[in-house]
Amino acid sequence: MKILLKKYGQILTSRPAGHEAALAMKTTVKPANDEAIELDFEGVLSVGPSWLDEVLSSLRTEYGTDRVICLPTRNPSVIESLRVIDTQPPHSK
Amino acid sequence: MKTGTRAKILEIINKRSGVRPSELIQTLELTPQAVHRHLRTLLEEGRLERRGAGPKVLYFVAGKPQLERVQAWFGAKSKPAENPPELICETRDAFAGRLPRLTSTGLGKDEQSLAIAAVGEIGNNSFDHNLGHWKDTPGCWYQTQTTGGRLWICVADRGQGILKSLARVDPGITDDHTALVTAFEKILSGRAPERRGNGLKYVRNIITGKDRRGLACRSGNGLVDYGKLGVECREELARFPESAGTVTLILWSLK
């Protein structure tokens, strides 16, 4: 299932805002077993790594790393955010 | 001779924060007509900018930021006398609410995307690391200025500084410069055990991603710069008095 991130704002920065967004997503996102969760950045102007890390961490903890997918985007702030997040060591449980 | 006079005018204006024609007439002992002729030429060449009108008109060097107010605020020994509500974001929400202003500064769409994310990380760091630790004034100073085809962005706080924040999780960090380099180049969270610490690396990647960008950051007596235009930001911040807080200056060419 697809999550349209523009519904959470055009500018997505800060960990507290990412934390709030992740909590809101988890109350409304009800994927079927093994269904992938796709994050769609269409219509979003800017995404910071803090916001995205908070959302990805929360969703991956809930649904598993492999099921949470960032859809391809040309938004440079997203591309740069993912570059930084992916170089970090994985979350400790 | 005329070129020499114009160079002198530029030098005087560069040293002060905005100069009136009457000050130039007095300092250079020239006629008002001569001063206005030189000012007109410098304006036409794009080397000066005129702000205000009538007797309040002031001339500035194009492309240079006006940082006197934030410098005074940042360096004040005790609670600053001036806390302009249009420039101080007392809360994280107030700061976030002002980020969209970067969409009307002349940046292209992709650059808006990167600039907003980078400035967002810097401003949010002020709140992440200083909540409950502000020296005397909560929040951050957030100011943008466009001049001579260049965008200057300044974020400053009167918080505890980067050294104090990082030394808590890595006692091996004992000086301001090492703390700044660690903050921008290594993944270490001042809020460990929370898994953070990637924000300023992201900012550095964006700034060094293109030649037309630069950044300098000062905290305590530490000062670092990144990007091709970083040295210009560094020159500006080197004039700031030493303070426990943190100030970051970004320069983004609009040309």
Q: Do B120 and A10 touch (CB under 8 A)?
A: no
Q: Is the ipTM of this complex over 0.90?
A: yes
- The per-residue pLDDT for range B145-176, each reduced to its tens digit, is 999 999 999 999 999 999 999 998 889 999 99
A10: which chain B residues are within 8 Å (Cβ-Cβ)?
A: 100
Q: Considering its fold, how many domains does chain A have in total? A: 1
Report the residue from B99, B195, B206 with minimal CB separation from A11: B99
Q: Where in chain B is the domain with CATH 3.30.565.10?
A: 68-253
Q: Do A50 and B196 touch (CB under 8 A)?
A: yes
Report the residue from B112, B117, B196 with minimal CB separation from A47: B117
In a domain, A92, yes or no: no
Question: Selecting from 3.40.50.620, 1.10.8.50, 3.40.50.720, 1.10.10.10, what CATH number does the domain B2-61 have?
Answer: 1.10.10.10
For A54, the enclosing helix (H) or strand (E) is helix A49-63
**pTM for this prediction:** 0.90
Interchain contact A60–B (C-beta under 8 A)? no
In a domain, A91, yes or no: no
Name which of A17-21, A83-87, B37-41, B171-175 the model is least confident about.
Answer: A83-87
Tokens of B67: 């940082």
- The per-residue pLDDT for range B177-222, each reduced to its tens digit, is 999 999 999 877 665 555 566 899 999 999 999 999 999 999 999 9
Residue A91: partners with Cβ closer than 8 Å, 6 or more residues away: A57, A60, A61, B195
**Domain residues for A13?**
2-86
A75: which chain B residues are within 8 Å (Cβ-Cβ)?
A: 113
For the domain spanning B68-253, the CATH number is: 3.30.565.10
Interchain contact A85–B (C-beta under 8 A)? yes
**pLDDT > 90 in chain A, percent:** 83
- The per-residue pLDDT for range A39-55, each reduced to its tens digit, is 999 999 999 999 999 99
Q: Where in chain B is the domain with CATH 1.10.10.10?
A: 2-61
Interchain contact B97–A (C-beta under 8 A)? no
Q: Which residue of B has its CA nearest to A90?
A: B195
